[in-house]
Amino acid sequence: NAGVTQTPKFQVLKTGQSMTLQCAQDMNHEYMSWYRQDPGMGLRLIHYSVGAGITDQGEVPNGYNVSRSTTEDFPLRLLSAAPSQTSVYFCASSVSFSDQPQHFGDGTRLSIL
Amino acid sequence: AQTVTQSQPEMSVQEAETVTLSCTYDTSENNYYLFWYKQPPSRQMILVIRQEAYKQQNATENRFSVNFQKAAKSFSLKISDSQLGDTAMYFCAFTDGGSNYKLTFGKGTLLTVNP
């Protein structure tokens, strides 16, 4: 099993460009989440999904869109990139039981110029 | 809203010694779960240990153990026989019993193990 796979690992964008960060998991997990990690801020939840077709906002959703058409995939879209979105992005997935830990991808380092 | 506080931005320890990282949290929930994650320079998020709030016994995983004080809302991590490979950022995280997909993280503690 590959676990949680994020692509790309690194990306540089110009302000105003759009892009999609990909996240895929092969563990049949219901729950998937996107976090961003900024220096001194820990990880903060952007959006999450409890199953295919169901998404909701986390702590810092502005500027990001998500969709969940399949159990496996949970892409994160930046419609018009801003320098404030420079960050490391992590995708995570978990089963539906609260005592089970989340599995994290290796992260995407995104720089907005 | 739940909050997680790690009051030690940086710590250092000599190899083979013991170090304790602090974490406090605030919640009105009675059923919840606490985790410590390790993030080495490779950037991976690695689960170190987890604790269920309804369990009084402190969790232990090899050299890692926690001191869970539910009334004080404290969840510290003790690393025994520190190794150079323990050098990493350590994050304390919280989730309530109904939302495993929503972790609330502390800001992290950078631990350096010196030879």
Look at residue A26 and tell me whether its pLDDT is greater than 70. yes
| The predicted structure's pLDDT at residue B88 | 97
Signed CA dihedral, B25, A102, A38, B77: sign only: positive
Q: What is the mean pLDDT of residues B105-111?
A: 96
pLDDT-derived band at B100, boundaries 50, 70, 90: low
* Chain A: closest CA distance from residue B110 (Å): 10
Rg of chain B's alpha carbons, rounded to an integer? 14
Signed CA dihedral, B70, A38, A69, A100: sign only: negative
Amino acid of residue A36:
R
> Can you point out the beta strands (E) in A14-74?
19-25, 31-38, 42-51, 54-57, 64-66
* Chain A: closest CA distance from residue B106 (Å): 6
- Based on the number of CB atoms within 10 Å of its own CB, is B48 exposed (0-12), middle (13-18) or buried (19 or more)? buried
β-sheet bridge partners, residue B33: B52, B95
Look at residue B98 and tell me whether its pLDDT is greater than 70. no
Look at residue B38 and tell me whether its pLDDT is greater than 90. yes
d(CA B60, CA B78): 9
Other beta carbons within 10 Å of B6: 21
Q: What is the mean pLDDT of residues A17-36?
A: 95
| The predicted structure's pLDDT at residue A15 | 97
| The predicted structure's pLDDT at residue B97 | 67
Look at residue A99 and tell me whether its pLDDT is greater than 70. no
- Spell out which chain A residues touch chain B, with contact meaning CB-CB distance below 8 angstroms: 31-33, 35, 40-45, 48-50, 58, 88, 90, 92, 94-102, 104, 106-107
**Which residue out of B37, B51, B55, B100 would a mutagenesis test of the A interface target, given it has the greatest number of A Cβ atoms within 10 Å?**
B100
d(CA B2, CA A60): 15
Q: Do the Cβ atoms of A107 and B43 come within 8 Å?
A: yes
pLDDT-derived band at A1, boundaries 50, 70, 90: low
**Which residue out of B5, B35, B103, B105 would a mutagenesis test of the A interface target, given it has the greatest number of A Cβ atoms within 10 Å?**
B103
